[in-house]
Amino acid sequence: MNTKYKILIVEDQAITAMEIKQIVLALGLDVVGIAKSNEEAVKKFEEYLPEIVIMDIKIQGDRDGITTVKDMYKIGETSVIYLTAFNDDATIDRAIETYPLAYEIKPFNKASLQSTIKIVMSKLNKDIVEKPILNVDLGYNYSFNQDTKKLYFNNTFIKLGYQETELLFMLIKAKEQIVSYKQIENEIWEGNVISDSSVRTLIWRLRTKFEYKIIETIPYEGIRLLININK
Instruction: Give 14 or 211, the one with higher predicted confidence.
Output: 14
Angle between the N-to-C axes of helices 162-173 and 181-188, in degrees from 0 to 180, rounded to the nearest 10: 130
Using an 8 Å Cβ cutoff, are 70 and 46 in contact?
A: no
- pLDDT exceeds cutoff 90 at 40: yes
Residue, of 110 and 194, whose pLDDT is higher: 110
pLDDT tens digit sequence for 41-57: 999 999 999 999 999 99
Which among 200, 207, 198, 209 is positioned nearest to 159, based on CA atoms? 209
- For 135-225, CATH number out of 3.40.50.720, 1.10.1740.10, 1.10.10.10, 3.30.300.210 equals 1.10.10.10
pLDDT at 229 over 60: no
Strands 6-10 and 156-158, bridge-based pairing: unpaired
Q: Is 28 helix (H, G, I), strand (E, B) or coil?
A: coil
150 or 134, which is more confident? 150
Domain ranges of the chain: 6-130, 135-225
Euclidean distance between CA atoms 95 and 117, whole angstroms: 18
Tell me the one-letter amino acid at 81: I
169 near 145, Cβ under 8 Å? no
| Segment 74-92 mean pLDDT | 92
Q: What angle do CA 76, 79, 81 make, to 5 degrees?
A: 135
13: nearest Cα among 57, 52, 73, 63: 57
Per-residue pLDDT, 1: 43
CA distance 39 to 32: 16
Pairing of strands 150-153, 79-84: unpaired
pLDDT score recorded for residue 231 = 44
Fold classification of 6-130 (topology level): Rossmann fold (3.40.50)
pTM summary value: 0.57
**Percentage above 90 pLDDT, the chain:** 60
Examine the pLDDT at 134 and tell me if it is beyond 80: no
Instruction: Give one DSSP letter per residue of 191-209, joined into a string.
Output: T----HHHHHHHHHHHHTT
In this prediction, residue 4 carries a pLDDT of: 81
Q: What band does 102 get if pLDDT is binned at 50, 70 and 90?
A: very high
Segment 85-95 shows an average pLDDT of 93
